[in-house]
Amino acid sequence: MQRRDFLRGGAIGVLALGMGRVSAASHLHDLPAAVPTPPLADLTTLPSGEPLRSLPTLTNRSAVDRLFIGDLVAGSAQRQWAQGHPTTVWAYNGQMPGPLIELWEGDTAEIHFQNHLASPTTVHWHGLSVPVSADGGPHHPVAPGKQQVYRLPIGKDAAGSYWYHPHPHGHTAEQVFHGLAGPLIVRSKQDPLSHLAERHLFITDLRVAADGQLPADDANDWMNGREGQVVMINGQYQPVIEVRESQRWRIWNACSARYLRLSLGGMPFTQVGTDGGLTQAPRAGLTEIVLAPAERVEIVVDPAAAASSCELTALIYPRGKMGGDVQPDTAIKLAQVHVGQGMAAPLPSTLRDIAALGPEKRRHVIRIQEDMSMAGGHHSMRFLLNGKQFDMHRIDEIGHVGQVEGWEVINEADMDHPFHIHGGQFQVIEHEFDGKVERPAVLSWRDTINLRAGETVRLRMVQAYRGLQMYHCHILEHEDQGMMGLLNVV
């Protein structure tokens, strides 16, 4: 059945009932039934126009060289966003976003984690190549009141912008939209851009009801993924960013489902990095870039010939949202940017040596699918990979440690889906869309890639550790509903 025919007539409210619960055979947890969206707070009254704050960092309490020891606690905290009503959030160390963890290539990190929540959780180190037992996947939950030491060996070529967030199956979206997410940077002592001033922009969105509560996901959220009514940078609403010299911006899209088509009002910038760090060469003269949920980017923003002001904006990105009552998207102001007069700092023509992976020893073919049905007069919808919903006890793919393996990911669905593989970084070989095949302009390392409806992406990757790894859509409501598979690396 065609999606638009199926959704005609306001079927989304009934659809949510089918989406909210799936059988125990295919899904370990029952998801809560979708609820109506309550009246929302007016968050446009939040303080704005304040200077962008630096992210607080996690303290290293180790006295040993090359060993980082930090303490991380997931628990409840209070915020005041809706006038007259406190909001209970879940936060790492009481902070939203969580503290910035800064490591160096070749380090070992020990993160001593405590779960003070009322439900099981994990800490997933998104994008890092670490042993499966430390990855924080859904097979290693930390029960309420329990502790876990995550031992993270950091590779010698791992410099990049990563992040951490929960990954308990069926509850990832809920825990992230309650506030559990934080940035992580791995640095290199051979960084060719270390002379540049650095800005960190950790972008999240926020939905708060008029009574101050964080409402549960509604029907549209289970269908399209949750988007809040405001977008924040480092927990601030529409801050001011001063550019007086060439600056290196690390930008994280830590939203559950929101796509960020970023623009500086037409002012050009230079892309120098992706998820897994610096690209092979800079790409100058860009005026916009799209970050799907979970993606990161590094750009260089330069002063101008004359002082000016512009807005950092998330422009409209049509990702194929479903449902007859979905509100139209609008451009969103994220920050005010004051650009000073000055000269741009020169950049090297080569940022990093990246060897192309190949040849492939084997290939995984993954089909992204949406299944809609009116069987027996009951409306239902499922989010699938290769025709299946995720099963914690079913191996979907077999990988081999140390081998170059290809992944052909085919989006047969009607909306965009960002695809993420645990275990490290991959190289994008080519995109095939609308009858055209294109290769990336420069080599880079990625761990999340967006696929438009009808698009095929071919990747190559090497898994460094044996064990169970996940691959899934990073629209978190879709992941929770089973758009995820299990790779056993042997």
Number of helices (H) and strands (E), helices first, in the chain? 5, 31
Same domain, 21 and 106: no
334 membership: H or E segment, kind and range: strand 332-339
**Helix/strand/coil (H/E/C) assignment for every residue in 227-289:** CCCEEEECCEECCEEEECCCEEEEEEECCCCCCEEEECCCCCEEEEEECCEEEEEEEEEECEE
Domain that holds residue 413: 3-30+354-489
In a domain, residue 41? The reply is no
Same domain, 389 and 452: yes
Please report where in the chains the tokens 């290809």 appear, as a residue: 406
Asked if residue 468 lies in contact with residue 368, where contact means CB atoms within 8 angstroms, the answer is: no
pLDDT tens per residue across span 151-201: 999 999 999 999 999 999 999 999 999 999 999 999 999 999 999 999 999
- Looking up residue 125, the CATH number of its domain turns out to be 2.60.40.420
Joined together, the tokens standing for residue 122 give 């994990």
Same domain, 238 and 333: yes
Same domain, 304 and 438: no
Asked if residue 479 lies in contact with residue 256, where contact means CB atoms within 8 angstroms, the answer is: no
Asked if residue 311 lies in contact with residue 335, where contact means CB atoms within 8 angstroms, the answer is: yes
Same domain, 482 and 427: yes
- What's the pTM? 0.93
Same domain, 318 and 381: no
What whole-number distance in Å separates Cα of residue 318 and Cα of residue 354?
33
Asked if residue 294 lies in contact with residue 448, where contact means CB atoms within 8 angstroms, the answer is: yes
pLDDT lower than 50: segments of the chain: 1-31
Joined together, the tokens standing for residue 422 give 């645990």
Same domain, 147 and 274: no
In a domain, residue 35? The reply is no
Question: Where a domain ends, among 187, 219, 239?
Answer: 187
Q: What is the pLDDT of residue 36?
A: 78
Same domain, 169 and 210: no
Question: Where a domain ends, among 136, 158, 187?
Answer: 187
Same domain, 201 and 325: yes
In a domain, residue 362? The reply is yes
Same domain, 332 and 359: no
In a domain, residue 346? The reply is no
Asked if residue 111 lies in contact with residue 153, where contact means CB atoms within 8 angstroms, the answer is: no
Question: Where a domain ends, among 311, 339, 367?
Answer: 339
What whole-number distance in Å separates Cα of residue 489 and Cα of residue 231?
38
Strand, coil or helix: what is 466? coil
Please report where in the chains the tokens 């699938």 appear, as a residue: 384
